[in-house]
């Protein structure tokens, strides 16, 4: 399907599997420019970090944890946030510590900001994270709101929120893309969360965690979900959730932003 859609680039927001190396190997072979941030379910849960390290090795330059991705495109810079985040402020899992060492909150902030400083000012900056930043609301239906346990609260990453605030001192990130908090809420009936917002500085935030990503609609058609964004003249001009049929045609589209 990716070859038929032929996007300029692909972003993976994490929770690819529970450490299945076949997924990382398949992503490593995608010929389209690709950036990956690994999620909390990708860390392997083995304590040693061996499964996490193996995925990172397979992904190579596609892994953008705490780093500026080296895309072959000259139209977009992608900076990765902290890998394997479970949200809720700041926490490093044992596997992350084994692979990356004892990274403090301040060090994590510094790594994200330093990567952003390496990005050319002439092209838009996108930040890729597994969990979004703090500051996007404390309701269960907020972009990063806790919906699986009461009381609801802001479950965003503290280091990412601080980093974005510091990056604003020298440039405005155009877009922050993340996942982790699923669109379908667990508490409160058949409700979905807000998945897009734009702050007063002009940065857009997109939650791409549609789970499951594949399904069947009421007409019996197989569908695959992608969050879709478009840029023009260095600015975000379109954001939507799209559900594609097997023939790559759009079955449904939820418009989030169009300018």
CA 248 to chain centre: 23
Determine, yes or no, domain membership for 44: no
Cβ neighbours of residue 8 closer than 8 Å, sequence gap 6 or more: 32, 33, 73, 75, 76
Determine, yes or no, domain membership for 40: no
Domain hosting 141: range is: 2-13+64-258
For residue 73, what pLDDT is reported?
A: 62
Q: How many domains does the chain have?
A: 1
The C-alpha angle 1, 254, 153, rounded to 5 degrees, equals: 110
Determine, yes or no, domain membership for 231: yes
Determine, yes or no, domain membership for 220: yes
Determine, yes or no, domain membership for 165: yes
Per-residue pLDDT of the chain (259 residues; tens, 9 = 90+): 888 898 999 999 999 988 889 999 999 999 999 999 999 999 988 989 999 999 999 999 999 999 999 776 668 999 999 999 999 999 999 999 999 999 999 999 999 999 999 999 999 999 999 999 999 999 999 999 999 999 999 999 999 999 999 999 999 999 999 999 999 999 877 899 999 999 999 999 999 999 999 999 888 999 999 999 999 999 999 999 999 999 999 999 999 999 9
Q: Considering the entire predicted model, what is its pTM?
A: 0.96
Q: Which of 236, 241, 239, 238 is nearest to 251 (CA)?
A: 241
Determine, yes or no, domain membership for 18: no
CA 17 to chain centre: 15
For residue 218, what pLDDT is reported?
A: 87
């Amino acid at each position: 399907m990716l070859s038929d859609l032929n996007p300029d680039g692909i972003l993976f927001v994490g929770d690819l599997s529970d450490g299945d190396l076949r997924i990382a190997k398949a992503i490593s072979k995608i010929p389209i420019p690709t950036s990956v941030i690994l999620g909390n379910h990708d860390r392997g849960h083995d304590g040693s970090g061996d499964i996490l390290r193996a995925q990172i090795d397979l992904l190579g330059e596609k892994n953008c944890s705490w780093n500026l991705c080296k895309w072959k495109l000259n139209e977009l810079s992608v900076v990765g946030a902290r890998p394997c985040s479970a949200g809720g402020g700041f926490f490093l899992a044992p596997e992350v510590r084994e692979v990356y060492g004892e990274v403090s909150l301040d060090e994590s902030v510094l790594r994200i900001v330093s990567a952003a400083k390496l990005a050319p000012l002439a092209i838009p900056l996108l930040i890729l994270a597994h969990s979004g930043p703090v500051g996007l609301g404390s309701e269960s239906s907020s972009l990063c709101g806790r919906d699986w346990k009461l009381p609801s609260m802001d479950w965003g990453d503290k280091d990412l929120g601080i980093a974005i605030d510091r990056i604003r001192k020298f440039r405005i990130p155009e877009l922050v893309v993340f996942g982790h908090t699923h669109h379908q809420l667990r508490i409160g009936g058949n409700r979905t969360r807000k998945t897009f917002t734009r702050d007063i500085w002009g940065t857009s935030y997109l939650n791409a965690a549609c789970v499951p990503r594949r399904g069947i609609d009421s007409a019996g058609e197989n569908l695959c979900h992608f969050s879709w964004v478009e840029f023009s003249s260095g600015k975000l001009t379109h954001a939507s959730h799209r559900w594609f049929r097997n023939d790559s045609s759009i079955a449904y589209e939820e418009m989030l932003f169009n300018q």
